[in-house]
Structure 1
Amino acid sequence: MKKYSVLVAGGGSTFTPGIVLMLLDNLDKFPIKELKFYDNDAARQETIGKACAVLIKERAPEVVFSYTTDPREAFSGVDFVMAHIRVGKYPMRELDEKIPLKYGVVGQETCGPGGIAYGMRSIGGVLELVDYMEKYSPNAWMLNYSNPAAIVAEATRSMRPNSKILNICDMPVGIEVRMAEILGLESRKEMTVKYYGLNHFGWYSDIRDQAGNDLMPKLKEHVAKYGYVVHKDIDSQHVEPSWNDTFAKAKDVFALDTNTLPNTYLKYYLFPDYVVEHSDKEYTRANEVMDGREKHVFGECRKIAEKGSSAGASLHIDEHASYIVDLARAIAYNTKERMLLIVPNQGSVSNFDPTAMVEIPCLVGNTGPEPMQIGKIPQFQLGLMNQQVAVEKLVVEAWMEKSYTKLWQAITLSKTVPSASVAKAILDDLIAANKDYWPELN
């Protein structure tokens, strides 16, 4: 069995240890000969890298491990690049959330003006990674889950149309894990789902078990009462209050169209007033993460590095990490596994823009994804998706053309923003905050 060389781009991320643990857990299914990290922040990466060196030495000493800030060293001789970068890190995320909230607008990492700001920072970073990969390992595949995935996917479609990059998101995985629990199934893989939409903006139209039985009625009954909240949430240490609210609010999103089951992120577009009312303008999700996950992961990594042992450490495998291993396996072994990916529509949703990047089920093999046919979608979803895809395309055009007007149009068109004057005020604040990261707009 061939052993693969894998690069994690974003080696200093709090999600990196979870990916390493997942890869180590799956060496029988996806053998690795070499694992490398790449990051442009040497100090952050070193903290994570030293701990991961201990984990690898304990569990798979035969795997060659290194981390570097040198693109040539990182990207040479790899089969897969697993990319999850955050340009500007959490301090910029905090501004993405707090600037819109100042104007009574949703402040969220990937939705509305905050997502647009993050997108403007991410485009250049992801394109740079694609270019390094094509230069140093032209046959490699990039599995990208850098956010905001919709804008990043549109940017790579427009500017790197032939690149071997697959854009993915773990949110549907998280929702499907909950669905499986609601149904009393062992695993979300016991379900076959039909889903369509844009990233963080989609709907399940059909869910069946392996025998073909329709699971939607039971799921709808639960979601109508509780949203995606499951019983373990009530006393769980792992579900933060902000996430619990998101899972619960799915009940109200579902009420708008009881023929489908929604992605949780639709709450930001359909109930922005509710979201703003329930937001703390002084302490947003970015603060929760910096005070919670960030401190925890870096603290655990320092302990592991100091002790030279992971005994007693509480790092755990992330749900999205398992998804990325499945995707790598599908490409490596031509498994034709059915997975949700963000791909050019090209007629899959027959009554929607063929150039839009849609999130739909695909069969994945060694030549990449084969998107499945969805057919026509209802007017309600079509109207929402037309508006949102226009926002995403305008953001990418604004980045390419350095256009102030197009970015103003994008923010104005977002369903989370009430008017062009509010959009302009937010945009001007975001430009000042992002002067080190965005192209200069004119």
Structure 2
Amino acid sequence: MEKYSVVIAGGGSTFTPGIVLMLLNHRQRLPLRQIKFYDNDAERQETIAKACEILLREKAPEIAFSYTTDPEKAFTDVDFVMAHIRVGKYAMREKDEKIPLRYNVLGQETCGPGGIAYGMRSIGAILEMIDFMEKYSPNAWMLNYSNPAAIVAEATRRLRPNSKIINICDMPVGIEERMAEILGLKSRQEMIVKYYGLNHFGWWSDIRDRKGHDLMPKLKEHVAKYGYVVNPEAHRETEQSWNDTFAKVKDVYAVDPDTLPNTYLKYYLFPDYVVRHSDPTYTRANEVMEHREKNVFAIAREIIEKGTAEHCRFETDAHATYIVDLAEAIAFNTKARMLLIVENGGAIENFDPTAMVEIPCIIGSSGYEKTCIGQIPQFQKGLMEQQAAVEKLVVEAWIHGSYQKLWQALTLSKTVPSASVARQILDDLIDANRGYWPELK
């Protein structure tokens, strides 16, 4: 059987050990001959990589392992590039979140001004990696789950339209797992979903079991009362900020009870609520840095000191099985049905054909085929047109180094109350992102 070579771009990420464990757990579906790590931060990557090297030696010695900051070494002889990079790391995420809050505008990683700032940092790095992949492994596929996926996807559509990149997000996966739990199903794989929207900005319009039974009524009944909160006792490890987000879905759902919403819509429909419940001195970035960041690196150092990964406390990133589903579908032509971020091209009939939409696609060895969504309601269409315009303006601003375009993007965001506030936030973000953004004129 053919075995595959994978490079994980973002080798120093705290999510990388979980991705490695997940790949090992599913290697009967995606047999591996080689795993490589690539990062531009050698010191950070080395700690994670040395721990994973021990883990792989003990669990799967047949898989070759290496890590590097050299693009040629990283991208040569690979079949899949699994990209989850964070340009500027959590220090810049903290600024993305805190700067808008100075002006009573929500601070969030992928939504509003914070997402726009992060997108402006990410575009160049993703394009650079596509170019490395095409130079050193022209037949490889990039499976990109780097945030902010909507802006990155629009940039790749505009600037690398023929590249073998598939943009995908795990948020619908996590929500569908909760839906399956609400329904008493073993897995989200037992559900066939219809979904449409933009990344972090979408709705489920139909959910059925494999026999065609409609599961929406039962889900709606639960969501109307509890949002996506389910079995709180079994989810005690869920952070309070996420519990609040899952609970707030109840209010988001009430705005359109014909569909079930993505959790991120709370940021666009209830931005005042989010600001009121935010601490401008302690945001999600601080929460992650003080918990996940410290814990993962402490575990890595412990493995390195002991010289063994036996009884190691790394946790498998079960969410990330969608990455294996995607790679397996390409490698073995399985025709799996998955939500991808793709150019609309008429899949949503009454929406911009050039917008990057998130819809179900059928995936095989030659890439993906889009499913037809048809017409969408006026409410969703209006919201999506506004948000898609924001994403296009951000990419225009990056391409042309345009202050004006970026000011327009911030002004158009549903999270920002006025053009004057947008300009104040933009000027602060420019100061914070010197060296990361193109120079704006």
For residue 304 of structure 2, what is the aligned residue in structure 1? 305
Correspondences of 1:377-388 after superposition (within 5 Å) = 377-388=376-387
For residue 320 of structure 1, what is the aligned residue in structure 2? 319
Question: How far apart in 2 are the matches of 1:323 and 1:303?
Answer: 29
TM-score of the superposed pair, with normalisation by structure 2:
0.99
> Are 1:44 and 2:44 an aligned pair?
yes
Question: How far apart in 1 are the matches of 2:313 and 2:260?
Answer: 34
Q: What is the CA-CA distance between 1:3 and the residue it aligns to?
A: 0.2
Correspondences of 1:155-304 after superposition (within 5 Å) = 155-231=155-231, 233-234=232-233, 236-304=235-303
Q: Deviations over 1:121-155 (max 9, x none)?
A: 00001001000000000000000001000000000
For residue 35 of structure 2, what is the aligned residue in structure 1? 35
Question: How far apart in 2 are the matches of 1:435 and 1:4?
Answer: 39
Q: What is the CA-CA distance between 1:318 and the residue it aligns to?
A: 1.5
Q: Deviations over 1:200-236 (max 9, x none)?
A: 00000000001100000000000000000011x3463
- Residue type at the aligned position of 1:244: N
State whether residues 174 and 319 of structure 1, in contact with CA within 8 Å, keep that contact through their aligned partners in structure 2: no
For residue 55 of structure 1, what is the aligned residue in structure 2? 55
Question: How far apart in 1 are the matches of 2:133 and 2:265?
Answer: 34
> Are 1:353 and 2:352 an aligned pair?
yes
For residue 104 of structure 1, what is the aligned residue in structure 2? 104
Question: How far apart in 1 are the matches of 2:430 and 2:401?
Answer: 12
Question: How far apart in 1 are the matches of 2:31 and 2:304?
Answer: 25
Question: How far apart in 2 are the matches of 1:235 and 1:278?
Answer: 25
Question: How far apart in 1 are the matches of 2:342 and 2:67?
Answer: 31
Question: How far apart in 2 are the matches of 1:382 and 1:393?
Answer: 16
Question: How far apart in 1 are the matches of 2:282 and 2:417?
Answer: 23
Question: How far apart in 2 are the matches of 1:238 and 1:46?
Answer: 28
- Residue type at the aligned position of 2:83: A
Q: What is the CA-CA distance between 1:27 and the residue it aligns to?
A: 1.2
235 and 19 in structure 1: CA distance in 2 versus 1, 3 angstrom threshold: closer
Unaligned runs of 5+ in 2: none
% same residue:
74
CA RMSD of aligned residues (A): 0.7
- Residue type at the aligned position of 1:327: L
> Are 1:140 and 2:140 an aligned pair?
yes
Question: How far apart in 2 are the matches of 1:137 and 1:32?
Answer: 17
- Residue type at the aligned position of 1:56: L
State whether residues 173 and 319 of structure 1, in contact with CA within 8 Å, keep that contact through their aligned partners in structure 2: no
For residue 415 of structure 1, what is the aligned residue in structure 2? 414
| Greater displacement, 307-316 / 123-132 | 307-316
Question: How far apart in 2 are the matches of 1:79 and 1:320?
Answer: 22
SS in 2 for 1:246: helix
Q: Deviations over 1:300-345 (max 9, x none)?
A: 1111111121223221112332110110000000000000000000
> Are 1:394 and 2:425 an aligned pair?
no
SS in 2 for 1:8: strand
For residue 120 of structure 1, what is the aligned residue in structure 2? 120
For residue 376 of structure 1, what is the aligned residue in structure 2? 375
State whether residues 22 and 318 of structure 2, in contact with CA within 8 Å, keep that contact through their aligned partners in structure 1: no
- Residue type at the aligned position of 2:292: R
State whether residues 170 and 319 of structure 1, in contact with CA within 8 Å, keep that contact through their aligned partners in structure 2: no
For residue 82 of structure 2, what is the aligned residue in structure 1? 82
- Residue type at the aligned position of 2:18: G
Q: What is the CA-CA distance between 1:20 and the residue it aligns to?
A: 0.3
Question: How far apart in 1 are the matches of 2:281 and 2:139?
Answer: 46
SS in 1 for 2:235: coil
Question: How far apart in 1 are the matches of 2:309 and 2:186?
Answer: 29
Question: How far apart in 2 are the matches of 1:89 and 1:385?
Answer: 29
- Residue type at the aligned position of 2:64: V
SS in 2 for 1:117: helix
| Greater displacement, 427-436 / 316-325 | 316-325
- Residue type at the aligned position of 2:366: T
199 and 20 in structure 1: CA distance in 2 versus 1, 3 angstrom threshold: same
Question: How far apart in 2 are the matches of 1:88 and 1:18?
Answer: 21
Question: How far apart in 2 are the matches of 1:43 and 1:285?
Answer: 24
Correspondences of 1:325-344 after superposition (within 5 Å) = 325-344=324-343
Q: What is the CA-CA distance between 1:270 and the residue it aligns to?
A: 0.1
Q: What is the CA-CA distance between 1:68 and the residue it aligns to?
A: 0.3
SS in 1 for 2:33: strand
Q: Deviations over 1:264-297 (max 9, x none)?
A: 0000000000000000100000000000110111
